[in-house]
Amino acid sequence: MGSNMAECHPVGFKWPMRAKAKGATLIHVDPRFTRTSAMCDVYVPMRAGTDIVFLGGLVNYILENKKYFLEYMINYTNAATLISADFKDTEDNDGFFSGYNAQTRTYDTSTWQYRRGPAPARVPDPAPGPAGATYKPADLATLIANRVPGQPLEDRTLQDPKTVFQILKRHYSRYTPEMVERVCGTPKDLFLRVAQTITERSGKEQTGAFVYAVGWTQHTTGVQLIRTAGMVQLLLGNMGRPGGGIMALRGHATIQGSTDIASLYHVHPGYLNTPSARRPHDTLRDYLLAETEPTSFWSNRPAYMISQLKAWFGGAATDQNDFGYDWLPKITGDHSHLPVFVEMSEGKIKGMILTGQNPATSLNSQFQRKAMQNLEWLVVLDFYETESAAFWKNVAGADPSKVKTEVWFMPAAHIAEKDGSMTQTARTIQWHDKAADPPGQARSDLYLWYHLGKRLKRRYASSTERRDLAIKNMTLDYDPDPSEVAEWKIKDEPSAFKIFREINGYNVQTGAVLNTFADLRADGTTASGSWIYTGMLQTVSGQLVNRTRMTPGKNDGWVSPNWGWAWPANRKQLYNRASADPDGNPWSDRKKYTYWDAAARTWKNDAGDGIDFAGTKAPGTAASPTGVGIAFHSGRDPFLLKTDGKGWLFAPGGLVDGPLPTHYEPWESPVKNLLYKQDRNPVTKVFDVPGNKYNEFAGTQFPHVITTYRLTEHHLSGTMTRWLPWLAELMPDLFVELPPELADEKGIKNGDYVTVTTERGATEARALVTRRLRPFRIDGKKVYQIGMPWHWGYMGIATGDVTNNISSFVADPNVSIHEGKAFTADVRKGRAR
Amino acid sequence: MTTKGMFVDTTLCTGCKACQVACKQWNELPMEDEAAVREHRAFTANSYDNTGHLSATNWRHVKFIEQFSPDRADVRWLMMSDSCKHCEQAGCLEVCPTGALYRTQFGSVDIHQDVCIGCRYCVGACPFGVIEYNGRTGRVNKCILCQDRMETGEGTACAKSCPTASLTYGNVSDLKAMAAARVKQLHAQGKTDAYIYGWDLGNQGVITQGPNKGQAVKDMQPVGGLNVFYLLLDQPGVYGLPTAPQLPQRNMNPSAGVALISAAVLGVTGLAAFRRRRMEAAQSGGGAA
Amino acid sequence: MTTPYVLEPHWANWMLAVEMFVAGLAAGIFFFIALANTTGRKEDREVGAILGFFPAPLMLIAAILLTVDLGQPGRFLNLIFTSPAATERPGPFMLNPNSPMNWGTYVILVFGALTVIPFLDALRHTGRLPFARGLVETLAHDPVGMFVCAALALATGSYSGVLLNVTNLPVWSDTYLQGALYVTFSALGGFAAAGIVADRLRAHETAGAVRTGLMGISLIAAVLLALYIGNLVALGTAGPLVTTMVYLVAPSFWIGAVGLAVLLPLVVVTTGARLRLARVDVSSLAVLGMLVLIGVFAFRWSIMHSALAALGH
């Protein structure tokens, strides 16, 4: 669901096919019948943007029919936890939760909190150090201990109406199979077949998995949507167990690595929040206190942050200058893609460097191309002249003098032309070696940033400006050893391995590589670029071992711990404590995974996976009310990164739009919300700027639900694939898939040119009339589902119009992801011009 | 040397076309028609198939057949990766007048590019429409079962690239056993549509979905057997395959025989024409009109 | 409908249509020459001698067309001498009895060589042969030799039809009659050409034989065509020949092949009628002969392109 795995992850799809050969049932829920649907046992049609109703319907089915895995649910989730008496659900509040501020369009989450017992006794906080050296490592333990809250209160009979269990039941009471049919357009019997199948196949003897991709993320309710699936899996006892869980299919070869090592503005590598001017992050001490969760594994955050600062600034970072924290720039708001381009359109951005990104074909692409005209300079590093590198050709037409931007196009080295590691979608890091020099002047992204950095360092070497200190003081010493580049003609390519080693981490004094993140310290004696990666390089018997190198042909079982190295600590199945019952025994022989060996007093996993738990913490260990970190959790709490060690059916924190997923219609929808008076997510990030007009909600001018998606034959905006002859001919032209019923109404024949329109603009495509798309019946009204791939642009061998001409700037409030999967449009026969 | 071939299990085909691209890459084949792609004339609107058919530069072609009832109750999308079948009795090889087409030590049908004179007779002889004339080189081309890879002990590029092992390369005898087991497994799961096109392994079934629902299907072994053979889920015609492919030589003796008889009749007619004329001339006494 | 084939050839067929006409005509003319030269009558021999000019150059043109049509014309010798790269074939001659294209090459090679006899005889007859006049005259009129030549002529006339039959293309491979039809039209063309020459030479008795021959051969052709079309209709593949406008197949078939080549001579000769069209005496053998030749070419054209039309080319 929310994915087209066979088309978009074709190699990984061999695993579901093998499971199918062994008797697994594959179910595909999607607005379109795709190549994935063709391979699955059951195809379930569903209107784009209604996943929360479908998944909420599953929650409802599980609760109403008592299909939950009771022992798992009571012990491993917060089902029994009591929530604040002031909490009001959307059922009481016309589709809002308690705490909504209509002025600021934000929620105050204080009424969503757990009810807790009394907090432990506190001592006075030690005073901070002087300005510029506020943090004193010796005081850390006391400070954190002072912040340990009271233990959450529970009702293990699950009767109290303020238990999470009862709140859940009430919240999803109207997400019935009938409602699923009305809102999603899914036939009731098909929905029930799915519900029956997943509940029958879950429990002690069997588990099931959900697999998703951007079909779930790219919505204004994307995060909540995914969370609903998490709840289903927690209720069914599928999390942390072999064959269970939720597989997030990431979309590019090492996008997991790119988020792990932070190409996102709001997190540092290892998912440490970026210091923000809007949060109490003024000093290092403030930051550490604000960010460190005293009662989860994140209590170690200071060690990770300090080690990172040591990695970045080396010897310049000491306990006398807050380890360089003050040199870090602080964010002042949302600096994700859409707001940045709004600022660009207002002339506030002078220059841009694009390495492997193509905004000229991104959302509301005309807006973005127009915004780019305000740049004074643009640098593009890519294999081919992308639409962004050539944006000026597109906007200026015949007269380039109309665009003042100076554009630098730099050819990029290809994957086989550079060393490095890749982190794939299951967190497994794999090293790969350079096989050939790039041709001519093509260079890697790493080369660009490294040599740019070196030049900037030289430029700022004698600067005293505060804003230059970070670059001035950063360590940038990755020149390769001669042996590393002996066989290549490019001798100044930075050493990826040295960076790799720094990310892994080392002891500052001895230089020895660290084997585990448990060795990281908050006192400046260790350095590590990203704590989650610590251990991918290890010292074993005095030898340096790269655990991410794969050993082909070596058969080490289905877990394959030697096939690359999964962060953290080579744990393939996260939270695998949950694969054993509260006493530490496997739930069943068939699903035996991690278990407690009472004689040896240690946890074991015969399949070879890492234990995702404190190795010698007995299952019967009581929770310590004053315990810091995971000591606060009992021996029965598998979810280490949560403050209570439990899986969150109800989310008291971390999300800005509600503790429970709630169905809101997509920002543009042809129908109103059948469940609540509040049609849409009240805290959606909207962009009320010229050039971004939204289609009228539930209007008639743009009556069709449109979804955008990918094909196997092309990748993203086609910057690589539409230039490759063998791929260009497989899918040469942009098309829009239309059900024949709609095509007949509009007089459109298969293959005709058609134009798809929204308030933002028009995209021209060829019509592919197919019954794989269908009209839906939404509450009795006929609503057409149409769809377009978005791989095309004006550069390349196979060119075409840009699908994103018609999409808009609108985003999920938690993570700023855009809503590309469900909006509205109209379609007419004929060309755009 | 044991005969090598491929088993194409269409139930595992996701239509990804990795096989099509791997073949082009390994054999360094060009695009079908670059101008058409650049000028937007290449889009076929035929499901997800824009290359249309096998050609001299397209030796593997994935077909897509959508079977959707108007009420969407019966939904199926068939996919099949097509190529040369390397027939045990190969029409192309039998008609080749120069010995350019030949049977390799692996039992496959390969082409001596140095010998081919480009007469295109093989193009008309193949019952499956596989081999094609290459206007640029003046010779013919088709899948050659990666002869160069087989000679170094490797399998075909397409089978190697297939992510779901829908294409499997190996000894034909092993592949037949694998195919038989697979049909059995599918029938046991209720998918009685499955049968083998290429060898008669004794399977019979009934189509369960699509417009031919209810029709019987059974294994077939045309032209002595196909070393690249298929597991199909519907009638061959649905996949664009002939239902009764045969060697063109079936016509040779009958045709030559009838021609011989005609020649004899013509000979007699010719002689009679001169005789009768003569008799006419004699009767009319010289000088006909 | 059972489909023994599925495919889409790409090739320019006009060259082959012309070649088939030219070679078939050479064969048909030589067939007539063989008959005429052995009747013993002086008039026949005169016509036969003049006709002798044509088979050799026609076969030369045919051979050139066949070679030029190849994708690799320079390699045409691979048809006869096994290429060293064709290591599976025992040398030195390339022999594939399963391939009409292969054994047919030998047929036209031998037949082509033999066309030198009537050519030399034509030279002798017109006083242009400075040597071996007696030998040539003997060779050109020896009954056994001419029987052999006639047999090879008929073989040449039929083999390309057999070649088309031994394929998996629609129309071509749907019957067993392709070779028979080809040799019949070959004979038709030969008699038509003979008629033109006989008319020009005012060889009335030979003309009488031509007329009788045309009547008989066109009758055979009519019967064969009826069987042929009937067979195609029964199989459901008649359309590409009898109705399609692509490459003008249907018009050239009905008007040319059926009308001009078969029905016209049949009707004209049987009824003995005098037909005048636009002041042209159609029943004059010269005109009739021209029209029949046009019809024979139309026959070759329509058959050649029917298979392509069937596959949407």
Segment A644-663 shows an average pLDDT of 97
Question: How far does the CA of residue B185 sit from the closest CA of chain C (Å)?
Answer: 30
Average per-residue pLDDT for chain C: 90
Question: By mean pLDDT, which of A554-563, B87-96, C156-165 is the weakest?
Answer: A554-563
Give the model confidence (pLDDT) of A714-747 as tens digits: 999 999 999 999 999 999 999 999 999 999 999 9
A264 and chain B: CB distance < 8 Å anywhere? Answer: no
Q: Do C and A count as touching (3 or more CB pairs closer than 8 A)?
A: no
pLDDT digits (tens, 9 = 90+) for A422-462: 999 999 999 999 999 999 999 999 999 999 999 999 999 99
Give me the residue from C7, C172, C204 closest to B288, CB to CB.
C204
Whether the pLDDT of residue A398 is over 90: the answer is no
Picking from B24, B50, B164, the nearest residue to A13 by CB comes out as B164
- State yes or no: pLDDT of A173 exceeds 90: yes
Is A10 within 8 Å of B45 when comparing Cβ atoms?
no
Nearest 10 degrees: Cα torsion A405, A406, A409, A410: -130
More confident residue, C278 or B207: B207
Chain C residues lying within 8 Å of B243, measured CB to CB: 2-3
Q: What is the mean pLDDT of residues A657-663?
A: 98
- Helix, strand, coil distribution of chain C in percent, nearest 5: 70, 0, 25
Q: What total number of domains does chain C contain?
A: 1
Beta bridge partners of B139: B134
Query: Residue A452: how many CB atoms within 10 A of its CB?
Result: 12
Q: Output the pLDDT for position C7.
A: 35
pLDDT at A134: 96
User: According to the model, what pLDDT value does residue C39 have?
Assistant: 85
pLDDT of residue C282: 64
Element counts in chain A: helices (H) and strands (E): 23, 29
Reported as a pLDDT band with limits 50, 70 and 90, residue B287 is very low
- The verdict on A573 touching B (C-beta cutoff 8 Å) is no
Q: Which residue of chain B comes nearest to C3, CA vs CA? A: B242
**Distance of alpha carbon B206 from alpha carbon B222, whole angstroms:** 20
How confident is the model over C206-250, as pLDDT tens digits?
Answer: 998 999 999 999 999 999 999 999 999 999 888 889 998 888 999
pLDDT band at residue A322, thresholds of 50, 70 and 90? very high
- Domain contains C171: yes
ipTM metric: 0.93
Contacts of A206 (CB under 8 A, 6+ apart): A243, A590, A591
In a domain, C1, yes or no: no
| A735 touches B at CB < 8 Å | yes
Per-residue pLDDT tens over the stretch A143-160 = 999 999 999 999 999 999
**CA closest to A730 among chain B residues:** B50
The gap from C-alpha A196 to its chain's centroid, in whole angstroms, comes to 29
Q: Single out the residue of A451, A506, A512 nearest to residue A476, CA to CA.
A: A451
DSSP code string of B182-210: HHHHHHHTT-TT-EEESS--S-EEE--SS
Q: Report the percent of chain C where pLDDT is more than 90.
A: 78
Does residue C30 form part of some domain? yes
Contact A94, A677 (CB under 8 A): yes
Q: Is the predicted pLDDT of residue C9 greater than 70, yes or no? A: no
- pLDDT-derived band of residue B278, with 50, 70 and 90 as boundaries? low
User: Which residues in chain C are closer than 8 Å to B94, comparing Cβ atoms?
Assistant: 96, 98-99
Report the mean per-residue pLDDT for chain B: 94
Distance CA B95, CA A478 (A): 66
C38: domain CATH number is 1.20.1630.10
Instruction: Give yes or no for a contact between A471 and A454, defined as CB atoms under 8 angstroms apart.
Output: no
pLDDT at C312: 63
Min distance C129 CA to chain B CA atoms (Å): 29
- Decide: residue B240, CB within 10 A, 0-12 exposed, 13-18 middle, 19+ buried: middle
Residues C30-86 have pLDDT tens digits of 999 999 999 878 999 999 999 999 999 999 999 999 999 998 999 999 999 999 999
Interface test with C, best of B255, B269, B271 (most C CBs within 10 A): B255
The answer for residues whose C-beta is within 8 angstroms of residue A66's C-beta and 6 or more apart is none
Residue numbers in A near B163 (CB within 8 A) = 10-11, 13-14
* Domain annotation covers residue C246: yes
- What is the Cα B130 distance to its own chain's centre? 5
Q: Is the dihedral of CA B213, B216, B217, B221 positive or negative?
A: negative
Q: Name the DSSP class of C258.
A: I
Decide if B76 and A38 are in contact by the 8 Å CB cutoff: yes
pLDDT tens-place string over residues C40-52: 789 999 999 999 9
**From the CA of A247, how many Å to the nearest CA of chain B?**
19
Percent of chain A surpassing pLDDT 90: 95
pLDDT over 70 at A329, yes or no: yes
Smallest CA–CA distance from A38 into chain B, residue: B77
Q: Give me the long-range contacts of A544-551 (CB less than 8 A, separation at least 24).
A: A544/A513, A546/A431, A548/A421, A548/A429, A548/A430, A548/A431, A549/A430, A549/A431, A550/A430, A550/A431
| B141-170 confidence digits (pLDDT tens) | 999 999 999 999 999 999 999 999 999 999
Distance CA A358, CA A356 (A): 7
Identify residue C168 by its one-letter amino acid code.
N
Q: How many Cβ atoms sit within 10 Å of the Cβ of residue C67?
A: 17
Q: Would an 8 Å CB–CB cutoff place A730 in contact with chain B?
A: yes
Give the pLDDT of residue A383: 93
In this prediction, residue C310 has a pLDDT band, given cuts at 50, 70 and 90, of confident
> Which residue segment(s) compose the domain that C158 sits in?
14-310
pLDDT at A562: 87
Return d(Cα B249, Cα C168) in angstroms, integer: 9
C219 found inside a domain: yes
The answer to whether position C27 is within a domain reads: yes
What is the structure's pLDDT at A59?
Answer: 98
The token duo for B118 is: 């480009």
Which helix (H) or strand (E) covers residue A552, if one does? none
At B250-265, the pLDDT tens digits run 999 999 999 999 999 9
Chain B residue with CA closest to A711: the answer is: B16
C223 belongs to a structural domain: yes
Interchain CB distance below 8 Å, A43 and B48: no
How would residue A553 be classed by pLDDT, with cut points 50, 70 and 90?
A: low
Contact B24 A799 (CB under 8 A): no
Residue B106 pLDDT class (50, 70, 90 cuts): very high
For C88-126, write each residue's pLDDT tens digit.
Answer: 998 899 999 999 999 999 999 999 999 999 999 999 999
Residues of A in contact with B38 (CB under 8 A): 797-799
List residues of chain B with CB under 8 Å from any CB of chain A. 12, 14-18, 20-21, 24-25, 30-34, 36-38, 40, 42-45, 47-48, 50-51, 66, 68-70, 72, 75-79, 163-165, 185
pLDDT tens string C134-155:
999 999 999 999 999 999 999 9
The model's pLDDT over A102-153, given as tens digits with 9 standing for 90+, comes to 999 999 999 999 999 999 999 999 999 999 999 999 999 999 999 999 999 9
Amino acid B286: pLDDT: 45
| C53-56 long-range Cβ contacts below 8 angstroms, 24+ apart | C53/C118, C53/C119, C53/C122, C54/C25, C54/C26, C54/C29, C54/C193, C55/C26, C55/C27, C55/C29, C55/C30, C55/C115, C55/C118, C55/C119, C56/C26, C56/C112, C56/C115, C56/C116, C56/C118, C56/C119
Nearest CB partner across the interface for A768, out of B21, B45, B68: B45
Which amino acid appears at position B179 of this protein?
A: A
- Is C284 a domain residue? yes
Shortest alpha-carbon distance between residue C13 and chain B (Å): 11
* Residues in chain B within 8 Å Cβ distance of A711: 48
Where do we find the tokens 């333990």?
A141
Which of B9, B37, B233 to substitute to test the interface with A, most A CBs within 10 Å?
Answer: B37
Question: Is residue C3 very low, low, confident or very high in pLDDT (cuts 50, 70, 90)?
Answer: very low
Calculate mean pLDDT across residues A650-656: 96
End-to-end CA distance of chain C: 21
Cα A723 to the center of its chain, rounded Å: 29
Residue B262 to residue C99, Cβ atoms within 8 A: no
Beta strands at B75-82 and A781-789: parallel, antiparallel or unpaired: unpaired
pLDDT digits (tens, 9 = 90+) for A244-296: 999 999 988 899 999 999 888 999 999 999 999 999 999 999 999 999 999 99
- Contacts of residue B70 in chain A, CB cutoff 8 Å? 771
- Looking at residue C239, its pLDDT comes to 86
- Across the range B33-60, mean pLDDT stands at 95
Mutate to test the interface with B, among A726, A734, A764, A777 (most CBs of B within 10 A): A726
Nearest-Cα residue of chain C relative to residue B244: C4
Q: Return the number of other C-beta atoms located less than 10 Å from residue A458's C-beta.
A: 9
Q: Are A729 and B42 inside 8 Å of each other by CB?
A: yes
Say whether B50 and A14 touch across the interface (CB within 8 A).
no
